[in-house]
């Protein structure tokens, strides 16, 4: 896992949940940019990236590197 300083904002609960939602009061949908971006794909597989984004407070994950893997990771068995 990368150091916290290298975690993209998309996967960061301190940024998405604490700053954006709590401190700034944003109540709209939070949508990722393409999860194939190198800042995510270089450090996380598609399933882990999708889970981390949702745990950070993101509402919609766009363009995962592997859609099937991302769906399997976030769907209950």
- Which residues are catalytic, by number? 33
Residue whose C-alpha is closest to residue 11's, from 62, 63, 52, 60: 52
Q: Please return the burial class of 69, using the count of CB atoms within 10 Å of its CB with bins 0-12, 13-18 and 19+.
A: middle
28: its two tokens: 């709209």
């Amino acid at each position: 896992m990368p150091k916290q300083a290298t975690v993209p904002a998309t996967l960061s609960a301190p940024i998405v949940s604490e700053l954006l939602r709590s401190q700034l009061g944003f109540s709209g949908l939070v949508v990722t940019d393409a999860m194939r971006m190198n800042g995510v794909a270089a450090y996380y597989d598609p399933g882990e990236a999708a889970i981390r984004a949702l745990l950070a407070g993101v509402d919609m994950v766009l363009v995962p590197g592997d859609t099937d893997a991302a769906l399997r990771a976030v769907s209950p068995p």
